[in-house]
Amino acid sequence: MQTKLTELLDIKHPVIQAPMFLVSNVAMVTEAMKSGIAGCIPALNYRTLEELRDAIQTLKKNKVEGGAFGFNLIVNKSNVKYKGQLEVLCEEGCDFIITSLGSPEETIKQAHAAGIKVFCDVTDLKFAKKVEHLGADAAIAVNNEAGGHRGNLSPKELTNQLSKALEIPVISAGGVGCKADIDKMLSYGAEGVSVGSPFIASIEAGVTEEYKQACVEYGAKDIIMTERISGTPCTVINTPYVQKIGTKATWLENLLNKNKSLKKWVKMIRFSIGMKATENAAKKATYKTVWVAGPSIEHTHKILPVKAIVDKLVY
């Protein structure tokens, strides 16, 4: 199927395997490329810049015709490794960068000079217009069915609105679990889709069997929003542990948040505790099950190889 996204990345199907913190890895993206789609990894999945460089070099070797690979950069101040990560990506080269949480201006400037395309996560028209003006190659429209930090508008409303108002292609992110969902997004004006949650339960994903199995056993009705991970609402599976700890910031956090000089520190501490809890839940055997996923796990019935998941999406 030919769309502006398949043309931009020279891929067979208009699908990006979305970047997922702690989940995405080289094995998943390699299989995504072999299956004729693009794959993306958060640069933050690598603790050091050398590990990031190794991953890029391996993906360059593994790249096949019909596939493409990219990395996700958090471009705001919370990512202290941002400058180094951008430098390594531009030195080594990759097909595309997805920016999230902040202004993509510097990334676009440097990535374009290195021949790398830049797609920007957006959740509304105002920011989408801004990234278009800055020179983004496509806007990723993160809707209210997405896993992780979701947007506020429905897939139809957001995709429709952005595709009418922008010149650059719109890629819809959120709520895609089968071929019918892709067809729907394309009918709303999208030129492609970015799919995350359905790939958590893949053989290649770098997380525990328990997390993968939870994506098989739970469904759309079990996804809730919690502020207990990063401080910003995020979608998680409503496990007994999540119910036990609650989804709202505690009274103490709320109280401290009201204090201007303490607010920044409370946020940073909450973020780091939350990230550690998610990392432990994703990577180790623990009863503290804080598993990030979106409602599109509704379509996940078995742990499968990436290739089988792609085939289910595109054929």
Ligand X SMILES: Cc1cc2nc3c(=O)[nH]c(=O)nc-3n(C[C@H](O)[C@H](O)[C@H](O)COP(=O)(O)O)c2cc1C
Please report whether residue 121 would count as binding ligand X according to CB under 6 A. yes
User: Which of residues 116, 131, 138, 173 is near ligand X by CB under 6 A?
Assistant: 173
- The least distance separating ligand X from the CB of residue 105, rounded to whole angstroms, comes to 17
The span from the first CA to the last CA of the chain, in angstroms, equals 11
Residues 6+ apart with CB under 8 A from 315: 179
Residues 6+ apart with CB under 8 A from 287: 241
User: Which of residues 195, 223, 242, 281 is near ligand X by CB under 6 A?
Assistant: 195
Please report whether residue 23 would count as binding ligand X according to CB under 6 A. yes
What mask, x for binding ligand X by CB under 6 A, covers residues 66 to 95?
Answer: ------x-----------------------
Task: Decide the pairing of beta strands 170-173 and 138-142.
Answer: parallel
What mask, x for binding ligand X by CB under 6 A, covers residues 129 to 148?
Answer: -------------x--xxxx
Nearest Cα neighbor of 196 from 211, 177, 180, 181 is: 177
Q: Between 38 and 292, whose beta carbon lies closer to ligand X?
A: 292
Rounded to whole angstroms, how far apart are CA atoms 174 and 294?
8
Please report whether residue 218 would count as binding ligand X according to CB under 6 A. no
Stretch of 3-11, 53-61, 162-170, 293-301 lying at the interface with ligand X (CB under 6 A): 293-301
Please report whether residue 215 would count as binding ligand X according to CB under 6 A. no
Please report whether residue 292 would count as binding ligand X according to CB under 6 A. yes
Please report whether residue 19 would count as binding ligand X according to CB under 6 A. yes
- The least distance separating ligand X from the CB of residue 278, rounded to whole angstroms, comes to 8
Residues 36-55 that bind ligand X (CB under 6 A): 42
- The least distance separating ligand X from the CB of residue 235, rounded to whole angstroms, comes to 7
- The least distance separating ligand X from the CB of residue 193, rounded to whole angstroms, comes to 8
Calculate the CA dihedral of residues 164, 165, 169, 172 and round it to 10 degrees: -70
Rounded to whole angstroms, how far apart are CA atoms 295 and 224?
9
Q: How does DSSP assign 78-130, residue by residue? A: T-TTHHHHHHHHHHH--SEEEEESS--HHHHHHHHHTT-EEEEEESSHHHHHH
Residues 227-256 that bind ligand X (CB under 6 A): none
Nearest Cα neighbor of 73 from 102, 93, 43, 47 is: 43
Residue 276: burial class (beta carbons within 10 Å; 0-12, 13-18, 19+): exposed
User: Which of residues 294, 304, 310, 313 is near ligand X by CB under 6 A?
Assistant: 294
Site size toward ligand X (CB under 6 A) is 26
Instruction: Tell me the β-bridge partners of 223.
Output: 237
Interface residue list for ligand X (CB under 6 A) = 18-21, 23, 42, 72, 100, 121, 142, 145-148, 173-176, 194-197, 292-294, 296
